[in-house]
Amino acid sequence: MTKEVFQYDSYIKNHEAKVTRVEDGKILFLDETIFYPGGGGLEKDHGKIEGADVIDVKRDEGREIFHVLSSPLDVKEGDTVRCEIDWERRYRMMRLHTASHVMAAVALSKFNALVTGGNITPEQAKDDFSLESKDQINEIVSEANEIIKRGINVKVYFLPKEEAMKIPAIVKLAGRSPPDLPVWRIVEIEGIDIQADGGPHVRNTAEIGQIKLLKVENKGKNRKRVYYTV
């Protein structure tokens, strides 16, 4: 199984890995990867392997990560390859991802509101909240920005499923099932939020900057779609 380096350190931009499988020279399986394959509403990483553009990153049916290249490489099983992620893109999404956790925590604590769907690109985040009014969104953004300015540490650690399930609101997305894995990756913004999460995050909320509300759409009773950036 590929070691998912990004789960342990989201700040590694370049990495060497060994090829464990090659298909047509353009599909590579590696022993370790820094490329996030997407999921949880967060887009996948872009970058290069040995100079070839990585145009897709996916999981197969066994959850093994593979990398799809723009052009074939002359590599074989056992070869070492140099991997490089598009750091500017990754870091933007890390900032927005952690911002989305702060927003979700404030919405839950202030209005008992859940996130009912979402998506994060390098340009913006889009979240659906079970809220009644735009005024509530403005309050959430304002309070989230105050929290961010405090420079709170963001911790990442792993817990057995049985232990993680005891944490209140460990899964904050309405309708999402808990991860079907024996060990869960936990992302904790100290004193603010704790969630099961598999994606890259910043180490401190101060790195986020300021959340800027772009627009709010009404998507039905008690459902607001919120677009924001940092």
Q: Dihedral of the CA atoms 160, 166, 167, 170 (nearest 10)?
A: 70
Closest CA relative to residue 183, chosen from 169, 171, 165, 209: 165
* Distance between first and last Cα of the chain: 35
User: Which pLDDT score, from 0 to 100, does residue 190 have?
Assistant: 96
Structure tokens at 26: 């353009």
Contact predicate 109/51, CB 8 Å: no
220 sits in the region (left: phi over 0; alpha: psi -120 to 50; else beta) called left
118: nearest Cα among 49, 210, 197 = 197
Q: What is the pLDDT along the chain (230 residues), one digit of tens a residue?
A: 899 999 999 999 999 999 999 999 999 999 999 999 998 899 999 999 999 999 999 999 888 999 999 999 999 999 999 999 999 999 999 999 999 999 999 999 999 999 988 999 999 999 999 998 989 999 999 999 999 999 999 999 999 999 998 888 776 655 555 667 899 999 999 999 999 999 999 999 999 999 999 999 998 888 999 999 99
Q: Cβ–Cβ contacts within 10 Å for residue 220, how many?
A: 8
Other CB atoms within 10 Å distance of the CB of residue 146 = 11
Cα distance between residue 223 and residue 221, in whole Å: 6
Return the pLDDT at 181.
84
Q: Which two tokens stand for residue 115?
A: 């996130």
- The pTM (predicted TM-score) of the whole model is 0.93
Which structural domains are found in the chain, ordered by start? Answer: 3-85 (2.40.30.130), 89-229 (3.30.980.10)
User: Residue 178's pLDDT is what?
Assistant: 62
Strand ranges for the chain from DSSP E: 3-4, 14-23, 27-30, 32-33, 47-49, 52-59, 65-69, 80-85, 115-120, 125-129, 154-160, 183-189, 193-196, 212-218, 224-229
Whole-angstrom Cα distance, residue 27 to residue 4? 17
Q: Sign of dihedral through CA atoms 179, 84, 87, 53?
A: negative
Both tokens assigned to 126: 């889009």
At 12, phi and psi to the nearest 5? Answer: -75, 120
pLDDT at 151: 98
